[in-house]
Amino acid sequence: MSNVIAIDGPAASGKSTAARLLAERLNIAYVNTGSLYRAVALAARRAGQEMGALSPEFLNTLKLEYVPDQNGRYELKLDGSLPGAELRSAETASGASLVATQLAVRDYLLGVQRSFAGEKLIVMEGRDIGTVIFPDARYKFFITATPEERARRRLAQSGEVTDGATLAEVAKAIAERDRQDSERRIAPLKPAPDAELIDTTGFAVGEVVDYIVKKVQAGTEEK
Ligand code: CDP
Ligand code: CDP
């Protein structure tokens, strides 16, 4: 069994926020795997690559590394520097969803993600952590909220680049990404059969984190 708390779910469901706070509460490391797909999309755009079909040769030129900060939180560096706000833009998000459909990209990122598991428990958050990356994760949660609530959350998020978009536009972009992520052939977005589903609609993030902390502390093994 891997010493991993897997948190998966659709866009803007609150995965990253819950995972970060959970890691702080448990004093363990946290890895946001969506950043990897976002970084690949960003690098491809910067290099003028055809985003719909990235080659293994191009992927092998990328320098992606996670460096821990003083709090044990891993930050992603692309070609030696932190990518900054561009990583969180709506354009990078949809590019990430497109590159994430490709086998070459998923293969390339699989090893990077698996290398995090070790003796110490960690929190990893994404779309396929509990299904593909760590099917034997010690704990698995699948976080959701209604599409309306998720669009509201993304729009309200400070530091998130929604490019002055309206609520309807944000909702549309999220719906398109949900569709692409759920319908793709490789590692589609779906709960692992043994994941605990948490519908966070109407709940504050603190309540969600309290719930997960209790589950983990109780040692509720999901497998
Ligand atoms: O990582 P993911 O895209 O799933 O979501 P996020 O980046 O964590 O964004 C969620 C936003 O909704 C943050 O601004 C949170 O403060 C807020 N939120 C939440 O995460 N969970 C709730 N139960 C309620 C609000
Ligand atoms: O924060 P948000 O939920 O909006 O997106 P993200 O977690 O940063 O992920 C960006 C995109 O990367 C997703 O829409 C997926 O297409 C892809 N992704 C994935 O395929 N597998 C993962 N484990 C994480 C992200």
Q: Which residue, 1, 26, 3, is CA-closest to 117?
A: 3
Q: What is the 3-state secondary structure (H, E, C) of 63-109?
A: CEEEEECCCCEEEEEECCECCHHHHHCHHHHHHHHHHCCCHHHHHHH
Residue located nearest, by CA, to atom 8 of ligand 2: 34
Burial of 25 (C-beta count, 10 Å sphere; 0-12/13-18/19+)? middle
pLDDT value, residue 5? 98
What pTM was computed for the model? 0.94
CATH of domain 2-217: 3.40.50.300
Residue 15 reports pLDDT greater than 80: yes
Distance CA 40, CA 150 (A): 24
Q: What is the mean pLDDT of residues 69-74?
A: 74
pLDDT score of 222 more than 70: no
Q: Is the pLDDT of residue 95 over 80?
A: yes
* Domain boundaries, given as residue ranges, for the chain: 2-217
Residue 157 has a pLDDT of 84
Whether the Cβ atoms of residue 52 and residue 45 lie closer than 8 Å to each other: no
pLDDT value of position 113: 93
What pLDDT does residue 108 have?
Answer: 93
Question: What pLDDT was estimated at residue 74?
Answer: 80
Q: What pLDDT digit, counting tens, does each position of 100-116 carry?
A: 999 999 999 999 899 98
Task: Kindly give the number of the ligand 1 atom that is closest to the alpha carbon of 32.
Answer: 1
Mutate to test the pocket of ligand 2, among 127, 155, 179 (most ligand atoms within 8 A of CB): 127
pLDDT digits (tens, 9 = 90+) for 142-171: 999 999 999 999 999 866 677 788 899 999
Lowest-confidence segment of 1-10, 36-45, 86-95 by average pLDDT: 86-95
Q: Residue 223's pLDDT is what?
A: 43
Read off the amino acid at residue 81. S
In the structure, what pLDDT confidence band is assigned to residue 220 with cuts at 50, 70 and 90?
Answer: low
What pLDDT does 145 receive? 97
**Binding site for ATP: what residues are annotated?**
9-17
Q: Is the pLDDT of residue 70 over 80?
A: no
Going by C-alpha positions, the residue among 140, 41, 32 that lies closest to residue 76 is 32
Does the structure show a pLDDT above 60 at 53? yes
Closest ligand to Cα 96: 2
% residues pLDDT > 70 (the chain)? 96
Query: Is residue 3 a contact partner of residue 197, using CB atoms and an 8 Å limit?
Result: no
Ligand closest to CA 128: 2
Q: Which of 17, 148, 161, 177 to mutate to test the pocket of ligand 1 (most atoms within 8 A of CB)?
A: 17
Q: Residue 40: CB partners within 8 Å, gap ≥ 6? A: 54, 59, 62, 64, 96, 99, 105, 108, 109
Provide mean pLDDT across the span 184-199.
96
Section 128-144 average pLDDT: 97
Mutate to test the pocket of ligand 1, among 38, 123, 153, 154 (most ligand atoms within 8 A of CB): 153
**Ligand 1 pocket: which residues have CB below 6 Å?**
9, 11-17, 153, 157, 200, 203-205, 208
- Give the CB-side neighbour count of residue 141, counting CA atoms within 13 A: 27
- Give me the pLDDT at residue 68, please: 79
pLDDT score for 90: 87
pLDDT value at 73 more than 80: no
ipTM value for the complex: 0.97
Contacts of 152 (CB under 8 A, 6+ apart): 167
